[in-house]
Amino acid sequence: MGRGLVLISLGLRDELDMSLRALEEARSCERLYMEAYTTVLDTDPERVSRLIGKPVTEASRELLEENADRLLLEASKMRVGLIVGGDCLAATTHVALLVEDSKRRIPFRVVHGSSIYTAVSETGLSLYKFGRSVTMPLHGGADTPYNVVCENMSRGLHTLILLETDRKTGRHVHVGEAVERLLEAEERAGRGFLDEETLMVGAARIGSVDQKVLADRAGRLLKEDFGRPPHVLMVPGSLHFMEAEALKALAGCPEELLTRAARPRRSLADVVGRYLRSVDKVLGDVRSSRQALDERARRVLEEAERYFMDAKHYFDRGDLTTALSAVAYSEGLLDALRMIGLLEFEW
Amino acid sequence: MGRGLVLISLGLRDELDMSLRALEEARSCERLYMEAYTTVLDTDPERVSRLIGKPVTEASRELLEENADRLLLEASKMRVGLIVGGDCLAATTHVALLVEDSKRRIPFRVVHGSSIYTAVSETGLSLYKFGRSVTMPLHGGADTPYNVVCENMSRGLHTLILLETDRKTGRHVHVGEAVERLLEAEERAGRGFLDEETLMVGAARIGSVDQKVLADRAGRLLKEDFGRPPHVLMVPGSLHFMEAEALKALAGCPEELLTRAARPRRSLADVVGRYLRSVDKVLGDVRSSRQALDERARRVLEEAERYFMDAKHYFDRGDLTTALSAVAYSEGLLDALRMIGLLEFEW
């Protein structure tokens, strides 16, 4: 590749997190930029420049987002490198740049690097058990992060919440503030997913020598000082016993929190399972009570039985939401019969 | 840190993916091992050894999993480095090793690296929109991967499926086989999530010069040769228009697949929204028809109205599963009234 755009990941914290490939690619570029607004790093263009041995210009949001034409025009004439903190494609901004580049048929290369998305495994939580992740913005409510946490929790999955930092003002959402805003959102919604006793994991500066990782009850994290940004907050879903052990050993989690968290309070499978057992019991009771039913009531009862069987079928196949709607519908049919006085039973 | 264990990420493909920090840490170790069975790399202990300038011994599964005592005993006496492909904590094996290490109060350090978990962003799919990920094993069914795909899809989320490789035999699950097994699982379950027209994304050797990324219909990926392992398969959920554009530009996705995939066929919000609209309509019809109802039928109708209001409430707050169970229950109550002949309406 002669001319073209090279996206070069810097990795988690500073220039020593660059891979040998990243360094080699950077050294082969005629012009180098460093993007320093989507991530918070322990380095700056000057230090990176010293390592590479070539000048490195700081790239503003304006250059990359509104004025990308200029950058791509350069890349169409010479080899231009853009150094980005973390993994260079974790932020959609840089994917967008690559798309623009590719539309103009300008060659490109990508060098990947370490990223907070995988480095959170240092808490002891397993990567494959994270549901979707979400950012908590500096301004505005926490309803979206809260909803994502509830959605993941109800499936037993962990949530990674990235906490926003404003590089210009230095203001950032710290762990305690994020916990507070989640608890406020819980209070407004009243869904019963979170309270001060909920196990959460706060982390700061993962990958640097002074990183801090702490798993504890929300009420404790509220008051904990995690120091300099970047911070992230994780809300675990259900825990495999290996994860529980790891949280204790690697993130100082108090023992008593683990037994509780290991059994999720309300996983969807639990909810549907409970529904199924209770409808199953009622159908059994009704059958053995041999109540005299009129023709129409019998048809409704048969329908309830049919939907119950469907619900079990979907439940066994792991389609929990279809199972839920079928069993709730069946319950509605049964309750209507009971309320009208055509069938006697107790839940 | 004098003695202790250093987990050193090698990164995605070969020794050039090691960070400067990884290299520095490796050089400071008195003994070096390289784990070469949880990932498939384009390098080997010999080449890594040449780069570091120190001997590197291949570490077997046996040493790390069954005989970890020996390794930890060494780490309690000298500085031992374990080099691992990808990010060193992406596999739970190494988290478990760290937990054992920490229980014995042996110091440890972790150096992170690039990983497939983030490198998949090269397809154009946004990282934060991935639900939980899953591995498709060499042997056994594809029911778990299929269930994870359905679970994620019903929430509009993407799924990353890691495809297993047996390093000893060289056998691996290739993209085509993974697609085939997913379609077979769909056929058995019959849930209607996947067919040969479904957009999927296959990728092989991401991060190396001969990487291959291709987004196309399942029926096409079935027949595509992706070459050497490692392979991964992604099943996208709903697509942001930027993701659709990126899939086209970066993964060669045919235009006509994007318009379809951008609207998920069955997101949970869609399903619940449809239920709500249909119950809302029936309740409105019933109210305006001013049917004469006996006391008990009126009570059931009021109960149906109450549950409908609850369902709307939970829907607005994003608690889709609670909304679903409430609206399905409401529908059951209404249908029972209709079947018994106490209320007339049409869905």
Across A142-146, A312-316, B46-50, B74-78, least confident range: A312-316
A261, pLDDT greater than 90: no
Q: Do B329 and A324 touch (CB under 8 A)?
A: no
Q: Which residues of A touch B184 (CB under 8 A)?
A: none
Q: What amino acid is encoded at B145 in this protein?
A: P
What is the per-residue pLDDT for A325? Answer: 92
- Confidence band for A88, pLDDT divided at 50, 70 and 90: very high
How many C-beta neighbours within 10 Å does residue A307 have?
24
Mean pLDDT computed over A180-203: 92
Label residue B271 by pLDDT band (50, 70, 90): confident
Distance from CA of B176 to the nearest CA of A (A): 23
Biggest CA–CA distance in chain B, Å, is 91
Q: For the residues B169-178, what does the mean pLDDT come to?
A: 94
State which of A152-166, A218-232, A278-292, B251-265 shows the largest mean pLDDT. A218-232
Least CB–CB distance from B19: residue in A11, A92, A334: A11
pLDDT tier for residue B211 given thresholds of 50, 70 and 90: very high
- Asked whether A19 and B113 are in contact (CB, 8 A), the reply is yes
Residue pair B65/B46 in contact (Cβ under 8 Å)? The answer is no
pLDDT at A254 over 90: yes
Q: pLDDT at position A333, please?
A: 95
Find the helix or strand (DSSP H, E) in which B260 lies.
helix B255-262
Mean pLDDT across B150-179: 92
The pLDDT value given to residue A262: 47
A143/B318 Cβ within 8 A: yes
Q: A124 pLDDT band (50/70/90 cuts)?
A: very high
Which of A321, A322, A345 best tests the B interface by mutation, with the highest count of B CBs <10 A? A321
Q: Residues 189 to 248 of B: which have CB under 8 A from any A CB?
A: 189, 191, 206-207, 242, 245-246
- Mutation to test the B interface, candidates A15, A98, A127, A144, most B Cβ within 10 Å: A127
Residue of B121, B205, B347 for testing the chain A interface, max A β-carbons within 10 Å:
B121
In this predicted structure, the answer to whether residue B111 has a pLDDT above a threshold of 80 is: yes
User: Which tokens hold the place of B344?
Assistant: 């007339």
pLDDT at B261: 54
| pLDDT tens per residue across span B276-302 | 999 999 999 998 988 888 888 999 999
* Contact across the interface for B326 and A324, Cβ inside 8 Å: no
Choose the weakest-confidence range: A60-74, B134-148, B310-324.
B310-324
| Chain B residues whose beta carbon lies within 8 Å of the beta carbon of residue A332 | 304, 307, 328-336
Q: Which helix (H) or strand (E) holds B270?
A: helix B268-289
The neighbouring-strand residues paired with A81 are A6, A32
| Angstrom distance (rounded) from CA B79 to CA B31 | 7
DSSP secondary structure code for residue B137 in this structure? -
Burial (CB count <10 Å: 0-12, 13-18, 19+), residue B21:
buried
Nearest to A234 by CA among A305, A318, A153, A311: A153
pLDDT at residue A267, as a whole number: 67
Instruction: Enter the pTM of the model.
Output: 0.80
Q: Which residues of B touch A113 (CB under 8 A)?
A: 19, 113-114
pLDDT at position B262 = 47
Band the pLDDT of B106: cuts 50, 70, 90: very high
Mean pLDDT, rounded, of chain B: 92
Most confident of A6-10, A169-173, A311-315: A6-10
Contacts of A100 (CB under 8 A, 6+ apart): A68, A72
Distance from C-alpha of A342 to C-alpha of A347, rounded to nearest angstrom = 16
pLDDT at B266: 58
Q: Which of A112, A132, A157 sits opposite B119 (nearest CB)?
A: A112
Task: Identify which of B170, B291, B147 has the alpha carbon closest to the alpha carbon of residue A323.
Answer: B147
Average pLDDT, chain A: 92
Confidence label for B127 from pLDDT (cuts 50, 70 and 90): very high
For the cut 70, the answer to whether the pLDDT of residue B272 exceeds it is yes
Task: Quote the percentage of chain B above a pLDDT of 70.
Answer: 98
B141 vs A303, higher pLDDT? A303
Residue A125 pLDDT > 70: yes
Q: What Å distances lie between residue A72 and A27, A102, A108, A111, CA to CA?
A: 19, 10, 11, 18
| Closest B-chain CA to A92 | B126
DSSP per residue, B25-77:
HHHT-SEEEEE-SSS--S--HHHHHHHHTS--EEEPHIIIII-HHHHHHHHTT
- B chain contacts of residue A12, beta-carbon cutoff 8 Å: 112
* Phi, psi values for residue A336, rounded to 5°: -65, -45
**With an 8 Å Cβ cutoff, is B186 touching chain A?**
no
pLDDT: which is higher, A287 or B167:
A287
Which one has a higher pLDDT value, B214 or B289? Answer: B214
Q: What is the interface size between A and B, counted as CB pairs within 8 Å?
A: 283
